[in-house]
Amino acid sequence: MAADTKSRAGRRSIGLPDALVDLLRQHRKEQDAEHETAAQLWRDEGWVFASPTGQAIHQATDYDEWKRLLKLAGVRDGRLHDARHTAATALLVLGVSGRAVMGIMGWSNSAMAVRYQHMTDQVRRDIAQQLGGLLWGDPPAGPGEGVTKPPPDQPEQGNRDDN
């Protein structure tokens, strides 16, 4: 059975995109077929990704498969752990709130964002557009919360630091 996680945050519920859920369901069907083929050799150890006999995938095999997938995808070489940096940066690009990112990534404090989230040109452009909209007109709709203006007859709420 799988080893315990490093912290309680290692065991958490997360949301998954529908397309990923579909891929995982397809993977489960393929794994069920492997289970039938392996018959009495199958060792159900509870792995989502397992060897053809149900056991943990050897670390070297996992490493080789990761490198093969990177090459197949045509992206730069990197460590498997780099995928966490990519995930955290994707959340930044999408404008996901810091609190939500902490929950998704399992971070106990926001300082981890400095280590994992990397500023991208797209984020810089989006911020510049939002700032330009704030200073010279309505900010464009886009990722993140943006800044909203109340109707002219209502006072501004929720944009001050002391709220």
Residue 121 and residue 89 in one domain: yes
DSSP string, 10-43: GS------HHHHHHHHHHHHHHHHHHHHHGGG--
Task: List, run by run, the mean pLDDT of 10-residue segments along the chain (163 residues).
Answer: 64 89 96 95 93 93 94 95 94 93 91 92 90 80 50 42 37
Do 138 and 86 share a domain, yes or no? yes
Integer Cα distance of 130 and 140 in angstroms: 6
Count of the separate structural domains present in the chain: 2
Which pLDDT does position 107 carry in this prediction?
92
pLDDT score for 142 = 59
Together in a domain, 26 and 83: no
User: Within a domain: residue 84?
Assistant: yes
Report the pLDDT value the prediction gives residue 155, as an integer from 0 to 100.
43
> Are 88 and 104 in a shared domain?
yes
Nearest one of 113, 93, 94 to 103, comparing CA atoms: 113
Q: Are 157 and 150 in contact (CB under 8 A)?
A: yes
Alpha-carbon gap, residue 97 to 113, rounded angstroms: 11
For residue 127, tell me if it sits in a domain.
Answer: yes
pTM of the model: 0.67
Question: Do residues 53 and 75 share a domain?
Answer: no
Q: Are residues 38 and 73 in the same domain?
A: no
| Nearest residue to 55 via CA among 26, 82, 75, 35 | 35
Residues 71 and 40 in one domain: no
Same structural domain, 112 and 76: yes
For residues 85 and 33, membership in a common domain is answered with: no
Query: Cα Rg for the chain, rounded, in angstroms?
Result: 22
Query: What is the C-alpha separation between 35 and 29, in angstroms, rounded?
Result: 10
- Are residues 27 and 77 part of one domain? no
Whether residue 80 sits in one domain with residue 52: no
Are 86 and 123 in the same domain? yes
pLDDT value of residue 147: 43
Q: Domain range spanning residue 111?
A: 63-142
Residue 93 lies in a domain: yes
